[in-house]
Structure 1
Amino acid sequence: MQIRQVTAEERTDTMFPLQAYAFSPSPWADADREDYARRMRFYRTAVSLVAEEDGQALACVGAFPMRQNVRGVLHEMAGVASVSTHPSARRRGFVRELLTRLLHQMRDQGCTVSALYPFRPSFYGRFGFVGLPRFRTATFAPQGLSHLLSADLPGVVERVPMQAGFDDYDALTLRLLGQRHGFSVYDEVRTAEFRELPRWVAIARVDGEVVGAVTYRIDRFGGDLVAGDLLTTGPLGRALLLQYFARHVDQVGRVIVTIGADEVPELWGTDFPVLTQGRVDHPSHAGPMARLLSMEALTGTVTTADESITIEVVDDDFIAGCYQLTGEGGRLSVEPSKNAPQATVTCGGISGLAYGVLDPVEVMTRGFGQVEASAVGPLTALFPKRMPYLFADF
């Protein structure tokens, strides 16, 4: 077995057959292959690895260069995708070898965190990844928001094709990248493909400033308005977009919109019927997972605690070691330490704390390590639970 990196142009011959068989209806048509080849101009900065035997590609992985906000610090992120294997080569360790090589390469290129959507979370858990909340959908009839039709809100909503509204939409995502924990975006090369999406985008403005945006499509008259992520800078942007949805009362039967785990749709109105769902099953509807690729990169993380603790990270190729974590002046510092550790955790354990999805007790109950009783308080204070919103779907 030989592993080699392929270019975006080579992906069509090497990776497309594997990905198409793994994730798409098959056999596929020639048009599917042609569409894939056309899209490869947006994959020029992706790192793509294939495992070959006798010149035949049997497995592949890829990573997109991205950025992610983790507790107020922007990290270079490796967005892992395109993980697939020929049926005859499955359970032979090809993906394990590829993923290990990929994470090392992305770490060497400056990535300090990584995220992915798993086909089986337990498999990626062995690589240090820990689960993050999956996005939710809110489904409701637009008449449930009728109270907003008479509200005199200080702002306007403009509806334009995605191509025309892309620059404003993209600028809003970059703004939210600096504000929202867990939020992530692709680089400019990959992001450019979204300009071509056959979607409307509703853009909410107040005094000319963009305060919200949402992409959507309408499947038929009397059918569904299916929206993407409800992106807002605050309550006013959300109210303007919900008011815009309400104006479709005589056109669509339902609105289905994507929301983060911290959104509470039942509070959008009084007597407001809404179905909020977060479906998770495998392999097709998995929640995302993430991990740290560097401990020192956590320096600068926002924290309100003035605490200091020594932890040891074990069983990991990237971040194993002993570290002193110190919160002072609203920021965290991380330095190598020779002190006796008060907590011994795996990569999944410290990643769960850093991303805010686990507290120290859950680290122990989930089997991610041992935390002394004296360390529970300081670790909880340094890493209070906080649900990340992983915006980018890759």
Structure 2
Amino acid sequence: MTAPATADPVSEQAPGPRPDGTSPLRRKLLVLLVAVLLLAGVGTGTVWYAAQRSDRRDQEQAGGPPVSEGPLSLDAAGGRRLLLRNLAWGPHRDEIASVPADAPDGPRTASGVKCLRFHAAAGTGICLQAEHGALDDTYHASVLDSSLHELRRFPAPGIPTRARVSPSGHLVGWTVFVSGDSYAGTNFSTRTAIVDTRTWQFYDNLENFQVIEDGHRVQASDVNVWGVTFADDGSFYATVATGGRTHLVKGDLAARTLTTLHQNVECPSLSPDGTRVAYKKRVEGADPAAPWRLYVLDLATMTETATAEQRNIDDQALWSDDHTLLYSMPGDYGSDLWTVPADGTGTPAVLVRSAVAPAYLG
């Protein structure tokens, strides 16, 4: 009589491999790993979705324009556009964004590039940025190509305040505060630099240029230079302060000279036709902490015209065309952009909310 078969105790406790070559224990571990990964993905997606909804809700509550990331170019193709540093609340705050010039309060396309100060022309951009350290912030100036990619980086020894690109795109300039943080008082020092993007020649401090007044060389240790605006690829205008006075100067890169033209001019901005300079002027009787009004100077006659903007202005105005000035004023989220006619007529009007550092392309 054949004895009944008995179970193999080893086989019961540790079954052999499956036909696919995996043991039950390994299969369980794989299932557990897949489940963990799926849960992690679901959690990440949920957090991302909630963050996006929160950002959109914050932006809607702030009343700002819709802002979305997309391709952005400094080329003039595609119609006239206004570039600006976006201050609308949300994930793209402080990024350089673009809007159609004829619909400046419409949806904005954000570049992903953050700048404290910015300007662009003819496919070249200048972006002044901060690097946040453990103990202190440092700053630099990045020269950008038409796709907003960095071409060269230069040290900026202070807080960024002004930036300009020449009409050709061949020259870029910027000003930073080396000490102090306001032009209103006298206890401040600036540093202004220019770079030629064709040769990468770096004029790191325009205070090293020779100041000429009434045909004579000025020998002074308190020279301060700020607010460059370019005429062409060899000359520019700027402000020089010395002896307690400010002057409009015309700069010559090749000669390394700054020749005074007119007093009480700060942060000049040359008109597209090259005939006038918009600037901020200290007016008598104004609050010392808010002393400036927006003026326009005819370079041929040195005749001054006060604009209709009667509030204090602390900005380097931008010409949107030969007749209109664009400038920043304090706003709910940092700054708004306003316009006013350059000939003294009209009234100031808001053009763009929650924006600063404008530049027109096209």
TM-score, structure 2 normalization: 0.23
Q: Which has the higher helix share?
A: 1
Q: Compare relative contact order (CA 8 Å, sep 6+) and give the higher one, 1 or 2.
A: 1
Larger relative strand fraction: 2
